[in-house]
Structure 1
Amino acid sequence: MFRTILLGTFLAISAVPVMAADVARGGARVTTIFDHPLPSVPGKSLRGVLVEYGPAGSSPSHTHAASAFITATVIEGSVRSRINDGPEKVFHVGESFVEMPGDHHGVSANASNVESSKLLAVFVVDTDDTKLTMPDRP
């Protein structure tokens, strides 16, 4: 009986998902969360990337794979963004922006110095493209 209780307790504890650590102040974390070839568009894939910013966090200015069409939706907090020579804008939960192939992402940052923020970037990209983001400076 004791072994059954211990086994049940172990299984219950191991089934609890491990929470990811919060992103540090000033930091950013990028995680690919899905990658699926598009069956009706040979050579193209749909990739989902979760971008998490700690308070005052940001990503360096960058471009993406030449084939990448991207739509990004804020899912937590607010995000500052500037594409090409356009104005810097703040996007809030539920708001989206797009990046066309060849666009330059000059600003990508948390709009808050206190709260975290997250966005989901969905890429339509050549399946062979393995490097999605290229910072302006190495």
Structure 2
Amino acid sequence: MNARAMWAAITLSMGLCLLSGAAIAHGGTHATDAPHAVVAEVASQALQDYPGKEITLITVDYPPGAVDPVHRHDAHAIVYVLDGTIIMGVRGKPEQTIKAGETFYEGPNDVHTVGRNASQSKPARFVVFLLKDKEKPLLIPAE
């Protein structure tokens, strides 16, 4: 897919975000009693040029102190922080602090070992674009 087609698909996904949205919860267990992230799938678009592939757009709301379980996505994932500050990390790489307006990338083989709100008093919100196989779940618990 060329860059123009990719941006067209992303733009379509962003436009659909006004039309749909079903809240889903992150699966897995938490090592602490920290609040859970709230995940909403806002759009999903099959890619005709790439049979079996789709772009899925989700939003994630982290309440203060929220922590994600260790997981993976089996997808290319680009995180864009809308509000607040989050800390992200994948196995084998250092943690990154990402502020509003900044991005983070996870590859299909990455295990997301760190995902949390950097603040104990303020919420954080981000959007994630996932390029994935249509048949794969959004989140796969990992160790």
- What range describes the TM-score normalised by the shorter chain of this pair? 0.7 to 0.9
User: What SS does the corresponding residue of 1:59 show, helix, strand or coil?
Assistant: coil
Cα pair 2:111 2:142 within 8 Å, conserved = no
Q: Taking structure 1 as the reference length, what is the TM-score of the superposition?
A: 0.75
Distance across 2 between alignment mates of 1:112 and 1:27: 14
Q: Which residue of 2 aligns with 1:82?
A: 89
CA deviation after TM superposition for structure 1 residue 136, in Å = 2.6
The letter for the 1-side match of 2:109 is G
Aligned residues: 111
- Structure index of larger Rg: 1
The letter for the 2-side match of 1:101 is P
1:29 aligns with 2:38: yes
1:134 aligns with 2:140: yes
Q: Which residue of 2 aligns with 1:63?
A: 72
Q: Which residue of 2 aligns with 1:111?
A: 118
Note the residue ranges of structure 2 that are not aligned, 5 or more in a row.
1-22, 24-33
- Structure 1 runs, 4 residues or longer, greater than 3 Å off: none
Identity among equivalent pairs (%): 29
Cα pair 2:73 2:140 within 8 Å, conserved = yes
Equivalent in 91, 101, 114 of residue 108 of structure 2: 101
The letter for the 2-side match of 1:57 is A
Aligned-residue RMSD, C-alpha = 1.6
Distance across 2 between alignment mates of 1:91 and 1:46: 23
Cα pair 2:82 2:126 within 8 Å, conserved = yes
Distance across 2 between alignment mates of 1:84 and 1:29: 23
1:121 aligns with 2:128: yes
Q: Taking structure 2 as the reference length, what is the TM-score of the superposition?
A: 0.73
Distance across 2 between alignment mates of 1:135 and 1:41: 26
Q: Which residue of 2 aligns with 1:43?
A: 52
Could you give the per-residue CA deviations for residues 47-89 of structure 1, whole angstroms, max 9, x where no partner exists?
A: 0011110000111111113xx1111111110110111211111
Distance across 2 between alignment mates of 1:72 and 1:35: 16
CA deviation after TM superposition for structure 1 residue 128, in Å = 1.8
